[in-house]
Structure 1
Amino acid sequence: MNDIAPHGIRFGRIAAMLPVKDIRRAHDFYVGVLGFAKTFENGNPVGFMILKRDDAELHLTLQPGHKAPPFNVAHLMVDDADALHALCEANGRRIIKRLQNKDYGLRAFVFEDPDGNRIDVGQRL
């Protein structure tokens, strides 16, 4: 795989932007339950926040009228899908697609965060 894309453009990291109705509630879930750390926030009241854990990065944006779409908005690779699945269930998160081994080489499931954003989780088999 080339480090240089067509036209000489090299891409860096990309982070999912999640719209949330209540940024404190989203913060409490991603930081308090999933173990992310807040690395930046902006606004008074806070309207934008960056969260990081390991190689994962999420950007939360306050959108009071947010209505979650009926599709996955982010894909998160982990090293233990079973443990994350159990953590989501223990914290009352709705499981959209049950945990199972997929024919494309991932152990996967989909859950909803507190704002209804669907996160697709995968672990390489």
Structure 2
Amino acid sequence: MTLTAMNFGRIAAILPVQDMEVAQRFYIDGLGFTKTFQNGDPVGFIILKRDESELHLSLQPRHKAAPFPIAHLLVDDANAMFALCKQHGAKIIKGVQDKDYGLRAFVFADPHGNRIDVGQRLRV
């Protein structure tokens, strides 16, 4: 089989979190994701969905966040997402800016320090 003959399916980011309850409050209550699966007792893995996005949370009590974005999220309103992140206590790493590569973008860190790069396609 050649590479061009292969179809790729969904790919989802897996975010390590130190406290699953804190993570659920942020992503479900704050950002509006819905839990579609959980595993373990206590829960050590969760799948979240919102619209076309899927996010996996993995309990890692000794997690140390990377100093760079580990996921990229496209939205249709970066300003609204920025406000939502601020409202729910996300640390803003880079404020909203229009980029020369065609995105309005910003970077936030979730309660566990995971940095997510958010972008909205600009109309040209």
Alignment TM-score, normalising by the size of structure 2 = 0.95
Look up the equivalent residue of 1:118 and give its one-letter code. Answer: R
Q: Which of 3, 9, 16 lines up with 1:6 in the alignment?
A: 3
1:30-45 → structure 2 map (5 Å cutoff): 30-45=27-42
Quote the residue 1:52 is aligned against.
49
Quote the residue 1:98 is aligned against.
95
Runs of at least 5 residues in structure 2 that lack an aligned partner in the other structure: none
1:112 paired to 2:109: yes
- 1:47 and 1:88 mapped to 2: Cα distance? 24
The CA deviation string for residues 18-65 of structure 1, in whole angstroms up to 9 with x for no partner, is: 000001110111000100000000000000000000000000000000
- 1:46 and 1:92 mapped to 2: Cα distance? 23
Look up the equivalent residue of 1:80 and give its one-letter code. Answer: D
Runs of at least 5 residues in structure 1 that lack an aligned partner in the other structure: none
- 1:88 and 1:59 mapped to 2: Cα distance? 19
Aligned pair count reads 122
- How far off its partner does 1:6 sit? 1.2
- 2:39 and 2:76 mapped to 1: Cα distance? 31
The CA deviation string for residues 44-94 of structure 1, in whole angstroms up to 9 with x for no partner, is: 000000000000000000000000010101000000000010111122211
Runs of 4 or more above 6 Å deviation: none
Aligned CA-pair RMSD: 1.4
Quote the residue 1:62 is aligned against.
59
Q: Which of 68, 73, 77 lines up with 1:71 in the alignment?
A: 68
